[in-house]
Structure 1
Amino acid sequence: MINTKMVRLLLTGLLIVLISFTGIGQSSNTEPWKENQLMPPAELAKIINDKNAHQPIVLSIGPGAIIKGSIDIGPAHEKESLTNLKEKLSKLPKDANIVIYCGCCPFEHCPNIRPAFLLLKEMKFTNPKLLNLQNNIKVDWIDKGYPLSK
């Protein structure tokens, strides 16, 4: 005779193992930004080059303000820089068009973009964007000939 309790226990264990391997129940995106909040570099470059376009507020939250017209905040993983960012943001309307970027390295390794984007969310900004520099500022901006600070 088959012990039904034992069968149930084995099936439950098997189900738990299967769920852990398939990723069911896990969030597919743990980043603080949504896909539609990523701005392609070509789009920002086009806006910067169009003197008639409404210019967003572009904030460098990495090692330096390389993009034309961007404001250097400093590396957002540093407390002083994050405080500086908070002060700058506190003077802006909540619906301001804000684009942040770092460009030190690919997103998965960047220590600056998450604290900065989380601060934008915490402060209830309604239109924050993260410049989608998938590799780094050199490859995704400079090498493409996009506008640079002087």
Structure 2
Amino acid sequence: MKNKKISFVILFAITIIAFAFTKFPFQNGNDPWAEKQLMTPADLAKILNDSKSKQPIILSIGFGGGIKGSIEMGAAKEKEGIKNLKKELTKLPKDADIVIYCGCCPFEHCPNIRPAFQLLNEMKFTNHKLLNLSHNLKTDWIDKGYPDK
């Protein structure tokens, strides 16, 4: 009887852990970025609003963006978008301050951020960040009055 209770507790714990990993895939360690490579919208807005701050290269890798100073690459889930991104990145030094963003949909479902960030990693960039738009561009950037085009 005692072994059945222990087995049940272990099975229950495994089920809870498995559910957590499928419910929150962006936190499971499989993404191509580290936590320190996520930039908050407030931090980027502060930099953009400070003319004395070094301005990063901001690349929109979604279906169109609205962040002030961003360069449109096209959707990174598409071959053309990745091709455009790669072409732009070849012009930059490996230590360039780069921020990429999409904002098309909730962060964990975005089809564009992972291939774009993976490309930056593969090309050996050392100072690239992903703008942490956890909901979408409208909610996390535009509605907050941050600098837009």
Query: For residues 52 and 113 of structure 1, do their structure 2 counterparts lie closer, same or farther at Cα, with a shift above 3 Å needed?
Result: same
Separation (CA, whole Å) in 2 of partners of 1:68 and 1:123: 26
Amino acid across the alignment from 1:143: D
Equivalent position of 2:42 in the other structure: 42
Taking the TM superposition and a 5 Å limit, the aligned residue runs for 1:1-150 are 20-21=14-15, 23=17, 28-149=28-149
Mean CA deviation greater in 26-35 or 94-103: 26-35
Whole-angstrom distance in 2 between the partners of 1:28 and 1:64: 28
Between Structure 1 and Structure 2, whose CA radius of gyration is higher?
1
Give ranges in structure 2 of 5+ residues lacking alignment. 1-6, 22-26
1:20, distance to aligned residue in structure 2 (A)? 4.5
The CA distance in 2 between the partners of 1:139 and 1:18, in whole Å, is 37
Alpha-carbon distance between aligned partners in 2 of 1:28 and 1:84, rounded to the nearest angstrom: 29
What one-letter code is carried by the residue in structure 2 that aligns with 1:140?
D
Provide, for residues 12-53 of structure 1, a one-character-per-residue CA deviation record: whole Å limited to 9, x for no partner.
Answer: x99x957844649x8931111111100000110010111111
Secondary structure of the equivalent of 1:48? Answer: helix
Amino acid in structure 1 at the alignment position of 2:92 = L
Q: Percent identity?
A: 64
> What is the CA RMSD across the aligned residues, in angstroms?
2.2
TM-score for the superposition, normalised by structure 2: 0.83
Any stretches of 5+ residues in structure 1 without a counterpart? 1-12
Q: Which runs of 4+ in 1 moved over 3 A?
A: 16-24
Q: 2: distance between equivalents of 1:18 and 1:60?
A: 43
